């Protein structure tokens, strides 16, 4: 068991101001796998004060030197990938091989990407008689979720540091242990004291103290839409910059000419990854009415291949959900789906056989789901797919856009130009064309209640920069 009894503040491991701690539960066994401090507003105040004191010097550090620090962090993460993969497999439940590749590999790649990017990024440009500067936003409070814990931390901390901002991080209390590994790596890299600070705790206490703190210049938050609204309310009092990456209910639109087998398989993969605990998961599969029977048959066959079991066992494709509360939430939605009259094609709310411990849920597919049903409108965050039929392309687009969210999506067609045409009509931040893979250099974020702002690539770096114009006196004409 990992016991972490200190926070990382001002370049050192510091005793928390409070005396309480938070147990971290292993998703596959329901046993305590670690313990972290339950931070307080006083801890937040100390961390923000350290970040504020460190800001001027860090902002003035040449980009090449900041890049060198990011490169050291990248190398430190790479060296500990296997350890991080196992840790997050325990915290979150993703099968360990996949967790090492995604949950550990992506954060390392993100720090490396920003280290390289700083070499060619233009922090100033001449526009007429103005010199336009890009300067760091200031002290950044980063609040991150549990589903891709270190990936989401890296997507905020790496560009914030690259921009010249200082950071106070609050990771999810459900999966916080990986953040302590990052803090160790940052400390070993020699980052100046106060530039990065780590405070663990609960959102209503630590998160709200960060969002309301007058010395915090910017909040970068990833989590539920409900919590994002609360962060925005608190930040508004001091007119902070706020970047939000929130929920999703993404639609995969299968056009009439698509390779149906490939489209259904690809969409289920995009729905079930991380046991459905992905904000951009393709949880609505839209198929032509004439193709429904065939699509439903293919979907059931594909779902059979998603074996559920121990993430450390080597064979399972789906591990458990992250917590008992999440398991009950997902089972509740499955029951709602049955009550709504949708066809339960496979899975269900009962527990998988042979798994008496762990937060496991059967991969579940519903057919002939009404577009306005709860399971088609609300984010479930579990391995649950809704198949919805449409009459024509216009109706497909209308159904896809009939959501309070707009984070991800997909379009499948043998004619890529046609697929792109449909994708352009979708009100969502990212659309996969025929299963196009995730790209760390492309902007990630959403429309509508999926949030505002973008992460990753140069777009993510720009989120942490302010514009300043120096109006220069024109040279006198000869």
Stretch (H or E) spanning 187:
helix 177-189
Give, in degrees to the nearest 5, the angle at Cα 449 between 448 and 455: 85
pLDDT the model gives residue 478 = 74
pLDDT the model gives residue 476 = 82
**Portions of the chain given CATH number 3.40.309.10:** 250-440
Stretches where the chain sits below pLDDT 70 are: none
- Using CA atoms, how far residue 460 sits from 68, 218, 242, 438, 442, in Å, is 19, 14, 13, 15, 9
Both structure tokens of 250: 């993404």
Round the CA-based radius of gyration of the chain to a whole number and report it: 23
The SS3 call for residue 98 is helix
DSSP 207: I
Euclidean distance between CA atoms 245 and 243, whole angstroms: 7
Length of the chain: 478
Q: What are phi and psi of 209, to 5 degrees?
A: -65, -40
**Portions of the chain given CATH number 3.40.605.10:** 2-246+449-469
pLDDT the model gives residue 314 = 81
pLDDT the model gives residue 477 = 80
Euclidean distance between CA atoms 118 and 458, whole angstroms: 9
Q: For residue range 221-264, what is the model confidence (pLDDT) as tens digits?
A: 999 999 999 999 999 999 999 999 999 999 999 999 999 999 99
Q: For residue range 33-58, what is the model confidence (pLDDT) as tens digits?
A: 999 999 999 999 999 999 999 999 99
Q: Which fold has domain 250-440?
A: Aldehyde Dehydrogenase; Chain A, domain 2 (3.40.309)
Question: Active-site positions?
Answer: 245, 279
Q: How many CB atoms lie within 10 A of CB 290?
A: 11
| Nearest in space to 216 (alpha carbons), one of 135, 134, 136, 138 | 138
Both structure tokens of 7: 């926070």
CATH code assigned to 2-246+449-469: 3.40.605.10
User: pTM higher than 0.75 for the full model?
Assistant: yes
Give, in degrees to the nearest 5, the angle at Cα 181 between 60 and 10: 40
pLDDT the model gives residue 8 = 98
pLDDT the model gives residue 93 = 97
pLDDT the model gives residue 475 = 82
């Amino acid at each position: 068991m990992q016991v972490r009894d200190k926070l990382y503040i001002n370049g050192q491991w510091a005793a928390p101001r409070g005396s309480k701690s938070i147990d971290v539960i292993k998703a596959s066994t329901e046993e305590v796998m670690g313990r972290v401090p339950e931070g307080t507003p006083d801890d937040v105040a100390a961390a923000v004060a350290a970040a504020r004191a460190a800001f001027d010097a860090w902002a003035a550090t040449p980009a090449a030197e900041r890049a060198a620090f990011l490169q050291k962090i990248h190398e430190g993460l790479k060296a500990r990938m296997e350890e991080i993969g196992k840790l997050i497999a325990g915290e979150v439940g993703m099968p360990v091989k996949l967790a090492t590749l995604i949950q550990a590999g992506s954060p390392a790649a993100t720090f490396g990407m920003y280290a390289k990017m700083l070499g060619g990024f233009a922090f100033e440009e001449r526009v007429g008689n103005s010199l336009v500067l890009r300067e760091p936003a200031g002290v950044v409070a980063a609040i991150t979720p549990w589903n891709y814990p270190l990936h989401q931390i890296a997507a905020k901390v790496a560009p914030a540091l690259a921009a010249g901002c200082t950071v106070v991080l609050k990771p999810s209390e459900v999966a916080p242990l990986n953040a302590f590994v990052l803090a160790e790596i940052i400390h070993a890299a020699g980052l100046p004291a106060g530039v990065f600070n780590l405070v663990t705790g609960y959102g209503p206490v630590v998160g709200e103290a960060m969002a309301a703190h007058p010395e915090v210049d910017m909040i970068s938050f990833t989590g539920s839409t409900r919590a994002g609204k609360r962060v925005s309310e608190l930040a508004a009092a001091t007119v902070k910059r706020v970047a939000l990456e929130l929920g999703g209910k993404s639609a995969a639109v299968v056009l009439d000419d698509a390779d149906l087998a490939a489209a259904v398989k690809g969409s289920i993969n995009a729905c079930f990854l991380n046991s459905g605990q992905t904000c951009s998961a393709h949880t609505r599969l839209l198929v032509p009415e004439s193709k429904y029977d065939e699509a439903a048959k293919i979907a059931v066959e594909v779902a059979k291949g998603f074996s559920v079991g121990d993430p450390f066992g080597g064979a399972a494709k789906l591990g458990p959900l992250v917590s008992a509360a999440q398991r009950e939430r997902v089972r509740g939605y499955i029951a709602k789906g049955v009550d709504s009259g949708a066809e339960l094609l496979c899975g269900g709310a009962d527990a998988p056989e042979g798994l008496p411990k762990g937060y496991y849920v059967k991969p579940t597919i519903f057919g002939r789901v009404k577009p306005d049903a709860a399971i088609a409108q609300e984010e479930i965050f579990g391995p649950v797919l809704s198949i919805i039929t449409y009459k024509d392309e216009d109706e497909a687009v209308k159904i896809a856009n009939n959501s309070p969210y707009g984070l991800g999506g997909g379009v499948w067609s043998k004619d890529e130009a046609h697929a792109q045409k449909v994708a352009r009509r979708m009100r969502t931040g990212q659309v996969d064309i025929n299963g196009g893979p995730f790209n760390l250099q492309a902007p990630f974020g959403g429309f509508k209640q999926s949030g505002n702002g973008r992460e990753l690539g140069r777009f993510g770096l720009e989120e942490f920069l302010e514009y300043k114009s120096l109006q220069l006196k024109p040279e006198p004409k000869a």
